[in-house]
């Protein structure tokens, strides 16, 4: 009975253990009807909460205590009304009964008074009642009866709420819910002004997106896988909402979930904001104490001075984000960042080049151009382009315009080689033999000779073969002018000249009559003779050459072809080169035809390189005779080097970077952001106090009522009634109310009291159980994980005492989380996993359940945090389920833990309820004779930290340092394992149950089984049983990463490779990319003497750093969490490493050595260099010192002697204490300052006016 009471209190937030006084019997007046039970009704009249405490560790003696608070059984009254037609005004009767109960503390008198009232009503209406005057203890669960009342009497509230209507199937309401928030996008974390942020717990970017969405007033679904910080997210939502004047109803069935949130708020000093009604029993005195404590502290928080802190946070955040953006921003038009440039430069093993590209060249070398350039460089080199650049090819100057050029030149070159050159030379030699002239040495000489021969032949044809005879000079002068003859001294008589002219005229084939024409032609003939004699025998005479025409044709073809080839190949003076040189040149051209074939492409590529300003680079490549890859590296190195220079010139942040300055900025940001977070609680309290002061001033009657209830010793008003009468002040006094959704209808009136309703562990709440809660708020946040436990009938079966609850009949239901996932458009998933101090603890779930979607953090030890303990487990005769050996092993492990690690919490998770009961009994008996261990196993500590033994259905939301997971399935007598023996794991949803079980441990997980993993047959059904088999394999392999499918090793970039090499050169063993989830440590450095212990995490500001969603994520939270896991941390800045590799390496080595010293100090118990101690907070000065000098207002005078200005100045002075006290308290303070003791009408009126004016002035100044 005690276990069941505890289970319901902790897992559902309801108190079911009662002392029942008086059993009322009712029978139908005329037999049974369809509306009345056939056997009548027998139910308690009065109920008191029961407390059962074990007096011994073995739990064989108990102490039972009944609370003084008593209530009329509401189920009895409801049954009499519904089943027996008793016309009973339930509210009126309950109020009357409560007055009767409050009138005496004697249980018998209380019973007599209520029984008399009830029988009077029943007798009047003819309903026979009898009573059995007995007092019994039992389990009474009527938590849902007030929900029924809601459905009956709060239809207007329910129907007016879109979410409730949507749950009821209303199509327009569902559309409205889906549309709500659809276009909203939460602001980026770095864009939020510090003054608008009220985080009281650290929040990563995924949490902050959820927080900002919730605080914007939108419906929100938060998907929170195990250990991802749902509780800290909800705590931040509550704090932020309270600071904004929002009212929050926070509900969860599980006590541990409530405590996880309220505990975090308490750490920040905000527990006073929460009205925690999720207790095993919330009596009226408890409520009164909470009211009294809150009223005493209300408004006592002075306004924190955080302006300088906020300025620093904003400035440092902007600086750090600015540098990261500058370093990682892809720059147009190159589409590469400065970080990528530096990393690649470090990885390039390129030939050195002293050159850099100028700005215009860089502008041309954009990303697309560079991408295509690699192929062009390779192609250029492959095609022989470097020989052309080095002028090694005879074609190096050839200019190709197209394939026609190649075709033409190849035809001419081939003709020269095969025909024209030899034929021409033979013909010319043959002609020359007829003349006796000297053989020319080059083609130009041949052209002169052949031209002469042609002229000679023309002259012979014009004047006959004798024209070159001895009479040539006489003929010449016979036709000359007198002046010419005189000048030449050649004397011929007139008749002689006439005779000679007739001779030459007769010889002329054209019968030329004109003397002048004859003279000019003979002048040419004389010149031909002279040249002939110069080229041959000085005494010889020219003669006609036979077949000269054919030779001339051959010569012209030869000359044209050779000229074309020379012009094409840009060869000079080919006509003046001797034949052997001509032959050699042609031979070179012929031998290098391959280059000619490529010259079109080579020429085009050279033109492209020239256009891009790469001529010098191509020459460097040619000079060094690089292959394509080396040439590309040279270009890439030059390009990157030039880009980095350009980037630095354009960016003050890059060119001015120093690691010392940036380290300082990071430290200053971390310090200011921590101060900002630590100040948030005081800022929240001040904002809440301010809002409360305004509400109390606006509703003085409510304030008076609450104060009266707080000061009462007895006869307190029921909480529901108090909320109805003083809702404004109550909700301002407690901006957050926490309870189980199962008691909302009982505790709160049916009104929309809250701005925000937050469900935690929503995957375990059925929709109909959530309706009453949803209806009491405006916007909704449902937080949970539908990959964990669904709602089931487990607790109903437990209450019914179902002994077979482990095996059959367990049913799963749809949750409010699953339903709302379909409609709520704003959904955020929490990503960072914090619970596990070694990511291997969550690795299995992360891989199998969440698809490696969680960001987990590597532990600092190689020691496996997961282990498998297999016992020889066969069920005892006549006993099903678990084996005695397995129970014994679990007890042994629990005792070992208590002895070796009493400071660490421990939980045992059993696969079945019977197995859990056996273990719990065995543990109690085992510690009975060990008093030194009994404190560890008692239930005095918080539900969130004490030792527990629970089955799968009860463990969601719990976490412990160490978990023992015990399978509880024994082998049969045959030695075989029956795969059907795993109860709910065999069914759909079994994987969700196992996911919960294997994700509860923070430090270590011990799995106990009666069989080896290999003894359980594999299955492809995807059930929890198959997942269990794989988890047992995982545990057997000591959480070997390979067993969960380690990701492929990530390629290191240039910076990472260079850092690894530099540390290796110093003799340090480096483990790059340490870890296997979405987040890996760039470099893990092990202890020199303890290679299994990682001591230093070294991270660069690379891509993973920049991809972080916020400055807080990358520059504080990741480092902080790694340090919390036992790492020391060192950051390498890429820009600093690039400019000073040796100096940055020295820093890493120094940090590594210090980390080893710190680790050694911790192991020896000496003070460590790193401390997780919270910073000491400076106490606020007392209110009086904050007020400054008191105004000169003399006390003790009559009230009419004070001017209004004096009274206002006095009140302004009082307000300078920074506290948010209500008007009544300020009036009391002013009266004390004026020496007044009695509240006369005039005193109150004048001081009220003065306080209101002073407060209004102060509020305007605050704004």
In this prediction, residue 801 carries a pLDDT of 64
Q: Please write the tens of the pLDDT for every residue from 282-310.
A: 667 778 788 888 888 887 888 889 999 99
Rounded Cα distance, 945 and 960, in Å? 7
Alpha carbon distance 1203, 876 (integer Å): 93
CA distance 3 to 19: 16
Q: Are 421 and 559 in contact (CB under 8 A)?
A: no
pLDDT digits (tens, 9 = 90+) for 265-286: 999 999 999 999 986 556 677 7
Bridge partners of residue 758, in order along the sequence: 250, 781
Write the DSSP symbol of residue 1175: P
Instruction: Flag the least confident range among 331-335, 361-365, 473-477, 506-510.
Output: 506-510
The 8-class DSSP code of residue 480 comes to S
Most distant pair of Cα atoms in the chain: their distance: 187
Q: What is the pLDDT of residues 611-624, one digit of tens each?
A: 999 999 999 999 99
What is the CA angle 1061-1063-1069, rounded to 5?
105
pLDDT for the residue 126: 83
pLDDT of 229 over the 90 cut: yes
Q: Residues near 476 by Cβ (< 8 Å), separated by ≥ 6?
A: 519, 522, 523, 525, 526
What's the pLDDT at 1046?
A: 41
**Over residues 654-680, mean pLDDT:** 95
pLDDT in tens, 64-81: 888 878 888 888 888 888
Q: 158-189+198-298+676-829 belongs to which homologous superfamily?
A: P-loop containing nucleotide triphosphate hydrolases (3.40.50.300)
How many CA within 13 A on the CB side of residue 1082?
Answer: 27
Give pLDDT, residue 154.
84
Q: Please, which pLDDT band fits residue 1175 given cuts at 50, 70 and 90? A: very low
Whole-angstrom distance, CA of residue 380 vs CA of residue 386:
8
pLDDT band at residue 943 using 50, 70 and 90 as cut-offs: low
What average pLDDT does range 519-542 have in this prediction?
85
Q: How far apart are CA 270 and CA 682, in angstroms?
A: 9
Question: pLDDT tens-digit profile of 712-762?
Answer: 877 778 888 899 999 999 999 999 999 988 889 888 999 999 999 999 999
pLDDT digits (tens, 9 = 90+) for 868-894: 999 988 876 666 678 899 999 999 999
1157/1095 Cα distance (integer angstroms): 10
Handedness of CA 260, 265, 271, 273 (dihedral sign): negative
Highest mean pLDDT (candidates 152-166, 686-700, 1158-1172): 686-700
* Least confident segment among 265-274, 476-485, 1163-1172: 1163-1172
Nearby residues of 1017 by Cβ (< 8 Å), 6 or more positions away: 979
Give pLDDT, residue 800: 63
pLDDT of the residue at 1182:
58
Q: Where does 911-980 show beta strands of DSSP type E?
A: 948-951, 960-966
Count CB atoms within 10 A of the CB of residue 797. Answer: 19
Both tokens assigned to 111: 């019973």
Residue 765 structure tokens: 């709440």
Ranges in the chain annotated CATH 3.40.960.10 = 1054-1164
Q: What percent of the chain has pLDDT over 70?
A: 93
Average pLDDT, the chain: 87
Structure tokens at 91: 């509210």
User: Residue 853 pLDDT > 70, yes or no?
Assistant: yes
Residue 733 CA to residue 293 CA, distance in Å, equals 11
Residue pair 197/1117 in contact (Cβ under 8 Å)? The answer is: no
Query: How would you classify the pairing of strands 1070-1074 and 1081-1086?
Result: antiparallel
Of 5, 110, 95, residue with least CA distance to 47: 110
The span from the CA of 599 to the CA of 608, in Å, is 14
Structure tokens at 189: 């974390």
Residues 716, 697: Cα–Cα separation, whole Å: 24
Task: Provide the CB-side half-sphere exposure for 622 (13 A, CA).
Answer: 19
Return the structure tokens found at 508. Answer: 């002329």
The architecture that CATH gives domain 1054-1164 is 3-Layer(aba) Sandwich (3.40)
37 — pLDDT class (breaks 50, 70, 90):
low
- Three-state DSSP state, 337: coil
Enter the CATH code of domain 866-1038: 3.40.50.300
- Cα separation values, 231 from 742, 824, 958, Å: 20, 21, 12
676-719, pLDDT tens digit by residue? 999 999 999 999 999 999 999 999 999 999 888 888 877 778 88
Question: Which residues of the chain form CATH 3.40.50.300?
Answer: 158-189+198-298+676-829, 866-1038
What is the arithmetic mean of pLDDT over 216-223? 96
Q: Residue 1044's pLDDT is what?
A: 39
Q: Are 48 and 21 in contact (CB under 8 A)?
A: yes
pLDDT tier, 1174 (very low <50, low <70, confident <90, very high otherwise):
very low
In this predicted structure, which of 360-374, 488-502, 682-696, 950-964 has the lowest mean pLDDT?
Answer: 488-502
pLDDT, tens digit (0-9, with 9 covering 90-100), for 965-996: 999 888 887 778 876 778 778 777 889 999 99
Residues contacting 674, CB < 8 A, separation 6+: 1116, 1175
Banded pLDDT at 1043 (limits 50, 70, 90): very low
DSSP E strand boundaries for 271-345: 274-276
Q: Could you tell me the sign of the dihedral formed by the alpha carbons of 724, 90, 50, 942, in that order?
A: negative
């Amino acid at each position: 009975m005690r276990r069941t009471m505890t289970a319901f209190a902790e897992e559902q937030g309801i108190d079911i253990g009662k002392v029942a006084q008086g059993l009322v019997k009712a029978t139908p007046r005329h037999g049974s009807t369809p509306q009345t039970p056939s056997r009548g009704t027998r139910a308690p009249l009065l109920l008191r909460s029961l407390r059962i405490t074990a007096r011994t560790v073995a739990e064989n003696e108990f102490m039972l205590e009944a609370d003084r608070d008593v209530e009329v059984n509401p189920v009895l009254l409801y049954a009499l009304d519904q089943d027996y037609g008793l016309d009973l005004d339930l509210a009126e009767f309950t109020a009357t009964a409560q007055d009767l109960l409050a009138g005496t503390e004697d249980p018998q008198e209380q019973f007599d008074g209520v029984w008399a009232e009830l029988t009077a009503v029943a007798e009047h209406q003819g309903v026979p009642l009898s009573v059995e005057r007995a007092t019994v203890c039992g389990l009474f669960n009527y938590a849902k009866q007030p929900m029924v009342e809601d459905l009956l009497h709060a239809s207007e509230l329910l129907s007016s709420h879109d979410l409730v209507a949507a749950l009821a199937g209303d199509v327009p309401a569902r559309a409205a819910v889906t549309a709500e928030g659809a276009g909203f996008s939460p602001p980026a974390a770095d864009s939020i002004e510090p003054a608008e942020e009220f985080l009281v717990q650290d929040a990563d970017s995924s949490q902050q997106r959820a927080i900002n969405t919730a605080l914007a007033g939108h419906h929100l679904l938060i998907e929170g896988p195990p250990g991802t910080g749902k509780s800290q997210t909800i705590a931040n939502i509550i704090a932020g909402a309270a600071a904004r004047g929002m009212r929050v109803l926070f509900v969860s069935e599980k006590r541990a979930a409530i405590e996880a949130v309220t505990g975090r708020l308490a750490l920040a000093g905000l527990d006073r904001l929460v009205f925690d009604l999720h207790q095993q029993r919330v009596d009226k005195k408890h409520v009164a104490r909470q009211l009294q404590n809150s009223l005493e502290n209300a408004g006592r928080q002075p306004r924190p001075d955080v302006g300088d802190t906020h300025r620093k946070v904003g400035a440092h955040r902007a600086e750090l984000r600015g540098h990261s953006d500058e370093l990682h921003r892809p720059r147009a038009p190159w589409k590469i960042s400065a970080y990528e440039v530096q990393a690649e430069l470090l990885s390039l093993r390129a030939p050195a080049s002293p050159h850099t590209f100028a700005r215009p060249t860089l502008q041309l070398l954009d990303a697309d151009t560079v991408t295509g350039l690699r192929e062009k460089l390779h192609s250029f080199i492959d095609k022989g382009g470097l020989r052309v650049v080095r002028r090694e090819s005879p074609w190096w100057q050839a200019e190709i315009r197209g394939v026609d050029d190649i075709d033409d030149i190849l035809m001419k070159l081939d003709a020269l080689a095969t025909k024209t050159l030899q034929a021409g030379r033979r013909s010319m030699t043959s002609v020359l033999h007829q003349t006796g002239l000297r053989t020319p040495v080059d083609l130009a000489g041949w052209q002169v000779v052949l031209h002469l021969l042609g002229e000679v032949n023309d002259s012979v044809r014009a004047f006959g073969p004798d024209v070159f005879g001895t009479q040539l000079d006489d003929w010449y002068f016979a036709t000359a002018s007198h002046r010419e003859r005189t000048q030449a001294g050649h004397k011929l008589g007139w008749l002689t000249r006439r005779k000679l002219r007739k001779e030459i005229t007769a010889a002329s084939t054209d019968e030329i009559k004109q003397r002048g024409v004859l003279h000019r032609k003979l002048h040419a003939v004389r010149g031909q003779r002279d040249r002939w004699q110069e080229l041959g025998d000085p005494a010889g005479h020219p003669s006609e050459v036979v077949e000269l025409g054919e030779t001339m044709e051959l010569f012209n073809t030869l000359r044209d072809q050779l000229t074309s080839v020379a012009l094409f190949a840009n060869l000079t003076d080919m006509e003046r080169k001797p034949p052997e040189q001509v032959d050699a040149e042609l031979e070179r051209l012929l031998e290098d035809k391959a280059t000619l074939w490529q010259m079109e492409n080579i020429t085009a590529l050279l033109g492209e390189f020239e256009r891009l300003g790469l001529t010098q680079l191509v020459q460097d490549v040619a000079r060094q005779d690089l292959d394509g890859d080396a040439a590309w590296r040279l270009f890439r190195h030059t390009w990157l080097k030039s880009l980095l220079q350009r980037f630095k010139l354009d960016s003050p942040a890059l060119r001015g970077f120093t690691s010392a300055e940036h380290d300082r900025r990071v430290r200053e940001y971390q310090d200011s952001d921590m101060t900002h977070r630590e100040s948030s609680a005081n800022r929240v309290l001040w904002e809440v106090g301010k809002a409360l002061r305004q509400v109390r001033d606006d509703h003085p009657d409510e304030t008076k009522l609450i104060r009266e209830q707080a000061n009462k010793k007895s006869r307190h008003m029921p909480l529901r009634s108090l909320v109805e009468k003083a809702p404004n002040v109550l909700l301002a006094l407690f901006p957050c109310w926490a309870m189980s959704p199962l008691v909302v209808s009982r505790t709160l009136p049916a009104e929309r009291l809250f701005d925000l309703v937050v469900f935690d562990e929503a995957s375990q709440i059925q929709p109909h159980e959530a309706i009453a809660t949803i209806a009491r708020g405006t916007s909704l946040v449902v937080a949970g994980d539908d990959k964990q436990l669904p709602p089931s009938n487990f607790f109903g079966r437990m209450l019914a005492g179902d002994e077979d609850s482990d095996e059959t009949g367990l049913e799963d239901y749809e949750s409010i989380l699953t339903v709302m996932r379909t409609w709520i458009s704003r959904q955020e998933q929490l990503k960072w996993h914090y619970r596990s101090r070694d990511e291997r603890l969550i690795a299995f779930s992360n891989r199998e359940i969440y698809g490696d979607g969680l960001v987990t953090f590597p532990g600092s030890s190689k020691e496996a945090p997961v282990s498998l303990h297999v016992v020889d487990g066969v069920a005892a005769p006549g006993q099903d389920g678990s084996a005695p050996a397995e129970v014994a092993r679990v007890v042994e492990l629990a005792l070992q833990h208590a002895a070796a690690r009493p400071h660490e919490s421990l939980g045992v998770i059993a696969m079945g309820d019977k197995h859990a009961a056996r273990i719990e009994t065995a543990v109690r008996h085992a510690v009975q004779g060990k008093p030194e261990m009994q404190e560890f196993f008692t239930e005095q500590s918080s539900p969130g930290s004490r030792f527990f033994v629970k089955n799968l259905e009860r463990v969601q939301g719990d976490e412990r340092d160490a978990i023992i997971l015990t399978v509880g399935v024994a082998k049969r007598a045959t030695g075989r394992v029956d795969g059907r023996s795993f109860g709910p794991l065999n069914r759909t949803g079994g994987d969700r149950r196992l996911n919960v079980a294997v994700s509860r441990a923070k430090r270590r997980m011990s799995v106990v089984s009666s069989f080896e993993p290999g003894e359980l047959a594999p299955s492809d059904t995807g059930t929890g049983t198959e997942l269990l088999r794989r988890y047992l394999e995982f545990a057997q392999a000591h959480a070997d990463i390979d067993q969960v499918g380690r990701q492929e090793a990530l390629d290191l970039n240039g910076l990472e490779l260079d850092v690894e090499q530099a540390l290796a050169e110093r003799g340090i063993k480096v483990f790059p990319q340490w870890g296997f989830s979405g987040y890996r440590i760039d470099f893990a450095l092990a202890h020199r003497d303890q290679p299994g212990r990682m001591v230093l995490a070294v991270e660069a500001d690379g891509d993973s750093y920049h991809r972080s969603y916020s400055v807080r994520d990358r520059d504080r939270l990741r480092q902080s969490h790694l340090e919390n896991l036992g790492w020391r941390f060192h950051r390498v800045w890429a820009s600093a490493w690039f400019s000073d590799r040796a100096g940055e390496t020295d820093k890493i080595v120094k940090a590594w050595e210090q980390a080893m010293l710190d680790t050694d100090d911790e192991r020896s118990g000496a003070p460590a260099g790193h401390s997780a101690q919270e910073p000491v907070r400076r106490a606020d000065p007392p209110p009086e010192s904050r007020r400054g000098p008191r105004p000169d207002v003399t006390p003790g005078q009559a009230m009419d002697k004070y001017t209004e200005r004096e009274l206002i100045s006095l009140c302004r002075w009082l307000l300078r204490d920074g506290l948010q006290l209500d008007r009544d308290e300020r009036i009391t303070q002013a009266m004390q300052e004026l020496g007044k003791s009695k509240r006369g009408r005039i005193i109150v009126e004048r001081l009220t006016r003065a306080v209101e004016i002073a407060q209004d002035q102060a509020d305007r100044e605050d704004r």
